[in-house]
Amino acid sequence: MQLSDREIQNTIDFLRKNQIIGEEKLGALSDEEIEFANELVHRIMEMPDVRKERVEKLKKALDSSTYDVSAEDIAKKLVGRVFSDMLR
């Protein structure tokens, strides 16, 4: 699964709002859950903004006119994006 910058920021904002990360911790969470959430945020923050190997692969496909995406794939992405944006 690929996360957009908006989804990552929404997740970070949610975790901060619910005090899962930051100075104070939400009392209802176990230490393991807090540790997991903090590790998840740490991993997300370490992810590169651009996956160079993916960009190069797409550039080559575009240059050689072999890039092909089905209408169904496009529709799935659009619908998925609408739902993920509604969850923020």
Q: Is a pLDDT exceeding 80 seen at residue 64?
A: yes
Q: Report d(CA 63, CA 11) in Å as an integer.
A: 36
Predicted confidence at residue 86, as pLDDT, reads 72
- DSSP state letters, 1-49: ----HHHHHHHHHHHHHTTSSSSS--TTS-HHHHHHHHHHHHHHHHS-S
The whole-model pTM stands at 0.39
Q: What is the pLDDT of residues 5-63, one digit of tens each?
A: 777 777 777 766 765 555 454 556 778 888 888 888 888 888 888 888 989 999 999 99
Q: Is a pLDDT exceeding 60 seen at residue 1?
A: no
